[in-house]
Amino acid sequence: MTATTDPSSATAEAADAVVGADAADGAVRSARALHAPVVDWFAAHARDLPWRRPEAGAWGVMASEFMLQQTPVNRVLPVYEEWLERWPRPADLAAEAPGEAVRAWGRLGYPRRALRLHAAARAIAERHGGEVPSEHAQLLALPGVGEYTAAAVVSFAYGQRHAVLDTNVRRVFARAVSGQQFPPNATTAAERRLARALLPDDDATASRWAAATMELGALVCTARGPQCGRCPIAEQCAWQLAGAPAHEGPARRGQSYAGTDRQVRGRLLAVLRASKDPVPQSDLDQVWHEPVQRARALDGLVSDGLVEPLEGGRYRLPLT
């Protein structure tokens, strides 16, 4: 275990962040008091996910993070296994046609992620000697890698001390520290500051803390129906202490789907994925009744590089 009790600059910074986040709460809790319970809870309750096993490597971690962007763990699992078996290293994927990545992506959703993971693999093969970079800035420069994914890779794959702020962690901090039921709609500077302030001092503990807070949010401190009875820090949770007040601020605007271009794109791509050979326009025309929207959706897929138009009005997943 680590020194969870000695004071440090990080503690003072955390205190400031906490006060800043909730000035009404006069009792400044020690950030350090959260580390041990959460990390110990993680040691006892963490799921055995394939990308957490040592053999996953940085490439496995990175691939899993792409797949997990907005897609639940259970749906990712089978695709991840096939993907890593087929393309065990970045160079293996880089050697493939991008369309094969899109096909293997299956129904995970947001297929541009498949294209970006493929492009990232090519960048890694060309610019990084086939090794997933271990610097946050270099990762951030890769297609499809944003602030969260870069942080996840350096933390989970390389064991670095880096704040990892995903939707789960944001919710845990919002409740446990800020006393709010939900975090703001968009990640704020205050949240980043708080996440940095709460980070344990040493790399190993910081890395575990990142994974642990994420897992706590995913399994216990969930968006709906949180299981506070099973939470290791329920006694210190600012939201609980405040009587679990309902969320104030603006509600998150839901995403509509039925009837949108996204739905049409999804149907078009499903047809293309299913066929190894080029598909005639007439087959694509079956998926949507409205010709204007249908054409717009197809154009969008082409301009996104997800679909390749051929001579004679035929289409296929991209070869190059």
Among 13, 55, 65, 85, the active-site one is 65
- In sign, the C-alpha dihedral spanning 286, 287, 292, 296 is negative
- Beta-sheet strand order (sheet of 314-316): 279-280, 314-316, 308-310
249 binds DNA (CB under 7 A): no
Shortest Cβ distance from residue 311 to DNA (Å)? 25
Name residue 193's beta-bridge partners. none
Q: How far is the CB of 111 from DNA (least distance, A)?
A: 5
Q: Which stretch binds DNA (CB under 7 A): 197-205, 236-244, 250-258, 275-283?
A: 250-258
Q: Can you tell me which of 78, 252, 276, 290 binds DNA, judged by CB under 7 A?
A: 252
Binding DNA by CB under 7 A: which of 265, 272, 287, 288? 265
Closest approach of DNA to the CB of residue 265, in Å = 4
Phi/psi region, residue 24 (left: phi>0; alpha: psi -120 to 50; beta: rest), is alpha
The two tokens of residue 117 are 């993971």
Q: Which of 57, 130, 143, 280 binds DNA (CB under 7 A)?
A: 143
User: Apex CA 32: angle with CA 27 and CA 34, to 5°?
Assistant: 85
Q: Which stretch binds DNA (CB under 7 A): 78-86, 88-96, 140-148, 202-210?
A: 140-148
Q: Is position 111 an interface residue for DNA (rule: CB under 7 A)?
A: yes
Nearest approach, Cβ of 131 to DNA (angstroms)?
Answer: 19
Between CA 153 and CA 158 the distance in angstroms is 7
- Residue 81 is a catalytic residue: no
**Counting contacts by CB under 7 A, is residue 184 touching DNA?**
no
Q: Shortest gap between Cβ of 275 and DNA (angstroms)?
A: 15
> Would you say 170 and 148 are in contact if contact means Cβ atoms under 8 Å apart?
no
Q: Are strands 314-316 and 279-280 parallel, antiparallel or unpaired?
A: antiparallel
Residue number with CB closer to DNA (32 or 317): 317
Span interacting with DNA, options 91-99, 237-245, 255-263, 311-319, rule CB under 7 A? 255-263
Site for DNA contains 215 (CB under 7 A):
yes
Kindly state whether residue 192 participates in binding DNA, applying the rule CB under 7 A. no
Binding of DNA at residue 217 (CB under 7 A)? yes
**Least distance between DNA and beta carbon 223 (Å):** 3
Taking a C-beta distance cutoff of 8 angstroms, is the pair 209, 35 a contact?
A: yes
Long-range contacts of 114-118, Cβ-Cβ distance < 8 Å, separation of 24 or more: 114/66, 115/304, 115/305, 115/306, 115/318, 116/66, 116/143, 116/144, 117/62, 117/63, 117/66, 117/93, 117/144, 118/93, 118/94
The smaller minimum CB distance to DNA, of residues 87 and 156, is found at 156
Distances (CA, A) of 132 to 147, 170, 189: 16, 27, 28
| 3-class DSSP state of 241 | helix
150 touching DNA, by CB under 7 A? yes
**Contacts of DNA in 13-52 (CB under 7 A):** 49, 51-52
Angle, vertex CA 153, rays to CA 12 and CA 82, nearest 5: 150
First-last CA distance in the chain: 50
| Angstrom distance (rounded) from CA 237 to CA 174 | 10
* 116 lies in the site for DNA, by CB under 7 A: yes
- Least separation, in Å, of the C-beta of 91 and DNA? 21
If one asks whether residue 213 binds DNA (CB under 7 A), the answer comes out as no
Positions in the binding site for DNA (CB under 7 A):
49, 51-52, 64-65, 68-75, 107-112, 116, 143-150, 152, 166-168, 171, 186, 214-215, 217-218, 222-225, 251-255, 257, 260-263, 265-267, 269-270, 300
